[in-house]
Amino acid sequence: MRMLLRFFLPGLFCLSLATNAQNVLISKSAEITFFSEAPVENISAKNNSVNSILNTVTNDIAFIVSIRGFKFEKELMEEHFNEKYLESDKYPQATFKGKIQDSIDWKKDGVYPVSATGTLSMHGVDKTVTEKGNIEIKGKEAHLSGSMTIAISDFKISIPKLLFQNIADTIKVEYKTDYIPYQKKD
């Protein structure tokens, strides 16, 4: 028993750490775009300041999105987006942490429709969401893509109706992420 305590437990602990690193995928490149269709003008923005991580054992997944990373066609829109709607001074990041609900054979190449449930945090509001997407596995790499619709009122983003008829109540968000095996930085 003493042997077990002395060698087995620390060994197990080390082993779990080691597998942990091996089963983690991290985004190599990720992109989020959003599109809002409205009577006066359509608004779209693209963000490449997106980071994601994925654990293929626990199926946990996380995203960090820099709000300032959203680039608009018009600078004034970008300023409004940051200053008035998302208040990026106060809330510089949006995050998602959740779990992929489907069981996936990460060792087998193919395209898997997946859904993930978790907490989307944005503009100081946490909301539990379930979103669908597709995972494509190719060797040691994976590609995740999909789209979701966000009601801006869910995140306490208020737009005075009289003044801002050019912004829709819901926005369509598209995301795509390329994952590669995680290598700890030296």
Partner 1 sequence: MLSFQLMKKNIPAILFFLLLSSSLFAQDDLLKQLQAEAPAPKKEAVLATFKGNKIINVQTNETVKKNNLDIRINHLFGSIGKESGGTFHNLYGFDQSQDIRIGAHYGITDRLMTGFSRSKRQENLELLLKFKLLEQTTNQKVPIGITLYGNTTYSTKDDILIEKDVHRLTYFGQIIFTRKFSPKFSLDVAGGFLHRNYVLYNDESDVMNVSGGFRWKFTPSASFIADYSHTFGRDAFKKNVDVYDVAGAGIEIETGGHVFSIMFTNASGILENDFMVNTEDSWSKGGMKFSFIISRMFKF
List of residues contacting partner 1 (CB under 8 A): 1-2, 4-5, 9, 13, 16, 24, 26, 40, 49, 51-53, 55, 58, 60-64, 66, 68, 73-76, 79-80, 82-85, 87-90, 92, 95, 97-99, 118, 158, 160, 163-164, 166-167, 182, 185
> Taking the complex as a whole, how short is the minimal distance between the CB of residue 141 and partner 1, in angstroms?
17
Burial status of residue 172 (CB atoms within 10 A of its CB: 0-12, 13-18, 19 or more): middle
In whole angstroms, the minimum distance from the beta carbon of 10 to partner 1 comes to 12
- As measured in angstroms, the least distance from the Cβ of 58 to partner 1 is 5
Output the CA torsion sign for 48, 98, 150, 147: positive
Nearer to partner 1 by C-beta: 39 or 108?
39
> Smaller CB distance to partner 1: residue 5 or 108?
5
CB atoms within 10 A of CB 52: 21
Report the alpha-carbon distance of residue 172 to residue 162 in Å, rounded. Answer: 23
User: Would you tell me how many other CB atoms lie within 10 Å of the CB of residue 181?
Assistant: 16
Q: What is d(CA 73, CA 48) in angstroms, rounded to the nearest whole number?
A: 15
Minimum Å distance from CB 57 to partner 1? 9
Render the burial of 58-93: b for 16+ CB within 10 Å, e for the rest: ebbbebbbebebbebeeeebeebbbeebbbbeeeeb
Q: Cα(33)–Cα(44) distance, rounded to whole angstroms?
A: 7
Helices and strands, number each (H, E), in the chain: 3, 10
- Shortest distance in whole angstroms from residue 24 CB to partner 1: 8
Q: Of the two residues 107 and 185, which places its CB atom closer to partner 1 in the complex?
A: 185
> With respect to partner 1, which residue has the nearer C-beta, 44 or 92?
92
46 vs 68, beta carbon nearer partner 1: 68
